[in-house]
Amino acid sequence: MDKIAVLIPCYNEAKTVEKVVTDFRRVLPEATVYVYDNNSTDGTAELAAAAGAVVRHEYQQGKGNVMRRMFREIDAEAYVLVDGDDTYPAEAAPEMVRAVTERQADMVVGDRLSSTYYTQNKRPFHNFGNDLVRFCTNNLFGGKIKDIMTGYRAFSFQFVKTYPVLSRGFEIETEMTIHALQRNMQVDNVVIEYRDRPEGSESKLNTYSDGFKVLGTILRLFKNYRPFAFFGVLAAVLAVFGVGFMIPVLNEYFHTGLVPRFPTLIVCCFVLVAALLLFVSGVILSSQLAKDARDFEFQLQTVQHWQSTARE
């Protein structure tokens, strides 16, 4: 087991990867730096190896796929995850590692948005997207995380070995954050300085397509982790529509004894039945979620025992 593992997922980062590896080897001399190359065609892997990194490969395209491979293969007491684009300062890494090793944090978020991000980042829609994702995540899942989409994080062994990587692309950051909030893990924020990519280095993140994937991930995880609220809201909406259209029909029946709009009455009955089914589904899934939470706590104990054994 490594004491500290620095994880750098890379796809065509030849202009910056050598500097990133060198910087992290300097500030964390006791760490092992791993670069996972994701089908780069510009010599990223060779440059990383020359700089002293342990280079491995993931052939399924996508940042989520790379992280799944890293989390499976590497055992360490503390992990630092950073992008290979040289936008994050290596100097913040020791503080983030101490939050894991000394303050028992499960995930440490490198907070760009509280420092220089808005002045350095030249893509205004990215700024809006970061604010929107932060607002949705914190309000739907009860968090106080300052930067949801940051690619600079530190993790504990328990987090890495109990986190199921389901996303394939850049929505992975949102998924990690929501997982930590849902599992009541300790999350710390460390303010970091952010610098935009150097000239000639291009972002792989598409503002619109990846942005919609992130919002879809939030909605999917809200359904999975807050089923009673999700299905309860849908049931309430259907119930309001059903009752709203049914009231005039019933009012006319009580005054005349006739029901001239049978199709409306039938549709309203079906809508109300659907609302009832959604409500019951939310109740059942909430009970299953409670059992899943109990099972997860036992899983954490198993992983902690495994870590203690590995140290010995």
Average pLDDT value for residue range 138-159: 91
Model confidence at 217, in pLDDT bands (50, 70, 90)?
A: confident
Judge contact between 92 and 152, C-beta under 8 A.
Answer: yes
Average pLDDT value for residue range 105-126: 81
Give percent of the chain above pLDDT 70: 94
How far is the CA of 284 from the CAs of 226, 237, 280, 307, in angstroms?
Answer: 12, 19, 6, 35
Q: What pLDDT score was predicted for residue 51? A: 96
| Residue 184 structure tokens | 């009541």
| Residue 93 structure tokens | 């890494």
Is pTM beyond 0.85? Reply is: no
pLDDT digits (tens, 9 = 90+) for 55-68: 999 999 999 999 99
Distance between first and last Cα of the chain? 10
In 3D space, the residue among 60, 31, 34 whose CA is nearest the CA of residue 45 turns out to be 34
Does the pLDDT at position 46 exceed 70?
yes
Report whether CATH 3.90.550.10 matches the domain 2-224.
yes
Compute the distance between CA of residue 110 and CA of residue 96 in angstroms, rounded to an integer: 8
